[in-house]
Structure 1
């Protein structure tokens, strides 16, 4: 491997360029909140139910006619979750190749923006998902999910080009904050459109489809900002690949992942923490992904209620992350995460028992999710960083991301299967408690002090 040393990022980047980088979080968060989190899964479910049964199902009278997908009967209520499962599994195989290509390319921003614009085109095309076009909706959701993950791989890599080691926390945090703000603003606008569709003279279905279109346009248009402001840089510290040798490039990308896995075996506490994280993070991601469908189809809430709840979760999550950080300073990150996982288990049990069409308990659950959402994820990343041997941070965090995508399809698969077997979302939501229980048991066996010592890192006062 060559050992070319790049110039310090702080010397080769300025605030103009960094603000351009921040704006990609602003751009894609509009899609994540409006399409991925709130609107599209329940809307696609309604379209699939209409196609299968000639009507949209309800919680009291669900559609029990299956869709025919390659000769396999698929419940309309499970379709969106199976699509996300397939796309996430494909991402785990595809993203290492994207990362390898981006590392060796002098045109990183073009790769990032190319994936973003392809995904935004898919999101814009969701405006045509109506009638019996559930297959179009499933295809567009699959493409959007793949393109979002691919663009984020390159986006994260560019951080190392524009910020030095002492600046990365601040630059990365500002990116996340910009993204939360962008997603909040667009979702608030779409709340007005969906809630006031009668005043606008349009039906609710059209209001939802226009909101999906707005998310695609938001993603694509604001991606122009980083495209204009970011500079391309030559690749450094990579193994040269013979021109046209795509097979060699693929072998190298997967070879690096397997080499890191092999190296991680010498750090058992690091590996055990990673496995624990993969389980409980899968539960977290699935709860967030299915919450809007559960609220609409099982509890009977209107779309505008779901959007307001997601906005509430985003707002509370900001304060929850700060609160968890303060608690961790006194009791340690591992103990604080474990408390968070107990709360997550309480959330899924409470979700199982939520009464229909009663908004106060539903909003209370949203507040509870917000309190633990940002905290558990933020502390998981900081705790894992304590267990990484010096000089191999990028390798281990790439393993962190690849492993997350390789297992995060399990939650949506379990949720979809339990719904298909039982015909109800209530047992499906409580089944997700399995991931928090397993994660908690594994995390309780992690000896942080031993892991930090094995990694050769300095012991913090509290772990």
Structure 2
């Protein structure tokens, strides 16, 4: 069986580029889906469904919901799931060599859920919310493993630069796709494409972009090694929530940071 070299290679330009390309890939979800297209589109479908039913609300799992509130509720629910699961995933990232495997798994789940948003039309307004919950949870999960890679690929004196490089690639990649999608949306009728179909194509394009460019990441990132050894008597769940509790106790010393985190969760 082939094994990785005992020599740990860091500051490798090709690997750092592959790592940064994941930010380029997944930022399409943040810009095209989260920022611009999904919210207004799903709200519009839900309003139409409410008008057909002669009501001011739509029903999701038997719960009446205002059309404009449906997706924000889904966002809050997905963030709540992240609070439950990400500490465990953070422990897996720190105490195992599964970073690449788990990052690839969640990125694939998120990208596929995003591509399936093409199916959101007519009475399937609720599907947009369900797929967003899945995609957003997977998005956050993959980011945990992405961030855990930074100490593996960059020396301490290079981490700020490499981290900034990743952020820049994310803004660039997400911005380029958003610009293309906005242009397509604006000129869709001139191209003979109905507006609703143009939105659905744009939604799916974010998943295709995410999935496609992530292959550059998988081809260049090493598997990596466990950063730490799991303490005796601990498992990923217990150690993950202990770390979360420690972090929350420390963040009390930074009230403005705590306010930001609470606002992010409630939004």
Normalising by structure 2, report the TM-score.
0.91
**Counterpart among 193, 200, 205 of residue 214 in structure 1:** 205
1:43 alignment counterpart = 41
Q: Distance in 1 between matches of 2:196 and 2:187?
A: 12
Higher-Rg member (1/2) = 1
- The alpha-carbon deviation at position 213 of structure 1 amounts to 0.9
**Does structure 1 residue 259 correspond to structure 2 residue 246?**
yes
- The alpha-carbon deviation at position 241 of structure 1 amounts to 6.4
What does residue range 204-283 of structure 1 map to in structure 2 within 5 Å?
204-240=195-231, 248-262=235-249, 264=250, 271-273=252-254, 275-279=255-259, 281=260
CA contact (8 A) 2:92 2:98 kept: no
Q: Distance in 1 between matches of 2:7 and 2:58?
A: 55
CA distance 1:43–1:407, change in 2 (3 Å):
same
Tell me, which stretches of 5 or more residues in structure 2 are unaligned? 1-5
**Counterpart among 172, 179, 189 of residue 188 in structure 1:** 179
C-alpha offsets along residues 337-378 of structure 1, whole Å, 9 cap, x if unaligned?
A: xxxxxxxxxxxxxxxxxxxxxxxxxxxxxxxxxxxxxxxxxx
1:136 alignment counterpart = 127
1:17 alignment counterpart = 15
What does residue range 71-150 of structure 1 map to in structure 2 within 5 Å?
71-150=62-141
CA contact (8 A) 1:16 1:229 kept: yes
What does residue range 428-443 of structure 1 map to in structure 2 within 5 Å?
none
**Counterpart among 57, 67, 71 of residue 66 in structure 1:** 57
SS at match of 1:73: strand
| Structure 1 consecutive aligned stretches of length 4 or more whose deviation exceeds 3 Å | 259-262
- The alpha-carbon deviation at position 65 of structure 1 amounts to 1.5
For the aligned residue pairs, the C-alpha RMSD in angstroms reads: 2.1
CA contact (8 A) 1:31 1:219 kept: yes
SS at match of 1:166: helix
CA distance 1:141–1:190, change in 2 (3 Å):
same
Q: Distance in 2 between matches of 1:71 and 1:166?
A: 54
Total equivalences in the alignment:
262
CA contact (8 A) 1:44 1:134 kept: yes
What does residue range 360-375 of structure 1 map to in structure 2 within 5 Å?
none
Tell me, which stretches of 5 or more residues in structure 1 are unaligned? 1-6, 56-62, 265-269, 282-403, 413-463
- The alpha-carbon deviation at position 240 of structure 1 amounts to 4.6
CA distance 1:241–1:33, change in 2 (3 Å):
farther
SS at match of 2:64: strand
- The alpha-carbon deviation at position 114 of structure 1 amounts to 1.1
- The alpha-carbon deviation at position 407 of structure 1 amounts to 5.4
SS at match of 1:167: helix
CA distance 1:167–1:8, change in 2 (3 Å):
farther
Normalising by structure 1, report the TM-score.
0.54
CA contact (8 A) 2:120 2:127 kept: yes
SS at match of 1:137: helix
CA contact (8 A) 1:96 1:254 kept: yes
The answer to which structure, 1 or 2, has the higher relative contact order (CA under 8 A, 6+ apart) is: 2
1:32 alignment counterpart = 30
Q: Distance in 1 between matches of 2:168 and 2:7?
A: 25
CA contact (8 A) 2:11 2:155 kept: no
CA contact (8 A) 1:17 1:229 kept: yes
- The alpha-carbon deviation at position 255 of structure 1 amounts to 1.7
